[in-house]
Amino acid sequence: MINLQVSELVKLFLVIYVAGYLVRHGDAVRRSLWGFLKPMMMVGIAGLLLLMEPDFGATVVIMGTVLGMTFLAGARFTQFMAFVSMFVCAAMLLVITSPYRMQRLTSFANPWADPFDSGFQLTQSLIAIGTGGWFGTGLGGSVQKLFYLPESHTDFLFAVLSEELGFFGVAIIILLFSVLFFRSMKIASQAEAVGNYFAAYMAYGIGIWLSVQAIINMGVNVGLLPTKGLTLPLMSYGGSSLIVCCMAIGLLMRIQFEIRGVSKQASKRSARKTGGNRRRQSKASALMSTGRWS
């Protein structure tokens, strides 16, 4: 039997769809409100389907990714901020009208008020992080993952890593995710420079998506954000998440490979053109030196 988390595939497919839409209708997105709202409507439909699961965390990641892509594509700042405000208000309304989401929010504000029920996950996560100290207990030395910390292999893996690797190990993990984000942005800017806008928007989307999901997961583990069922990209256990993240990294590597190919071809054409100009100049100089052009 194969279990598939549909929301993981939706993240990648929507990044590809929005990248294609921005290439085909980029001028409309930048100039008109209707052009900006069209992709938002498609993403909104996908978000409603995800909320029916319910999967609020994936919806937040998808909306954040798509909004970031449209902003980098040149959408008007006023339209962008207006839609962000609408999304924040809708998210707050969902939290207020849903009892279990409201319980998560109140327990997040003060998890120690009920450490054995609503605040159990967060308190155990904070205990794991505090136990790690500067250098951690060593790989495999976590105590909290031994049936104390729920979902220690997926949603709260970062807390276990903090306990086993300590502050310095976690700092390296954060640094690696930062490198992934900035490298994705650099690949996107290089693709945009050579005129491959589809690859550029897709690289922007992948970088934003993986970074936003990592930030939310880490924020939940350290108690900065309410509890969400989001995995730590490329690290948490789970087939669907890991496979889709690897697919996204593979697309980034392919984009970089194609950019390098285009750059090499451009360099060769430039070298041939420069060489031809030099040969013509040397030939002209030789003719002038023999007096044939006198």
Q: Which tens digit of pLDDT belongs to each residue from 210-230?
A: 999 999 999 988 888 887 778
Domain residues for 26? 7-97
At 262, phi and psi to the nearest 5? -65, -40
Distance set, CA 284 to CA 23, 130, 271 (Å) = 47, 77, 20
Tens digits of per-residue pLDDT, 61-112?
998 899 999 999 888 888 888 888 888 888 788 777 777 777 777 777 777 7
> Do 48 and 19 belong to one domain?
yes
Domain count, the chain: 2
Our separate counts of H helices and E strands in the chain read 10, 0
Q: What pLDDT shows up at residue 138?
A: 87
Residue pLDDT, tens place only, 75-85? 888 888 888 88
- The reply to whether 1 falls in a domain is no
Could you tell me if 123 and 68 lie in one domain?
Answer: no
The DSSP code sequence of 81-107 is HHHHHHHHHHHHHHHHH-HHHHHHHHH
Asked whether residue 239 is assigned to any structural domain, the reply reads: yes
Question: Is residue 15 over pLDDT 70?
Answer: yes
Residue 232 lies in a domain: yes
229: closest CA among 11, 9, 54?
54
161-185 pLDDT per residue, tens: 999 999 999 999 999 999 999 999 9
What pTM was computed for the model?
0.84
* Domain final residue, candidates 51, 68, 97: 97
Write the pLDDT tens digit of every residue in 225-265.
Answer: 887 778 899 988 877 888 999 999 999 999 999 888 777 77
Q: Is pLDDT above 60 for 39?
A: yes
- Say how many CA atoms lie within 13 Å of 156 toward its Cβ: 28
Is residue 250 in a domain?
yes
- What confidence score (pLDDT) does residue 274 get? 67
Residue 24, in any domain of the structure: yes
Please tell me which residue, 125 or 283, carries the higher pLDDT value.
125
* 148 domain residue, yes or no: yes
On whether residue 228 sits in a domain, the answer given is: yes
Q: Are residues 69 and 116 in the same domain?
A: no
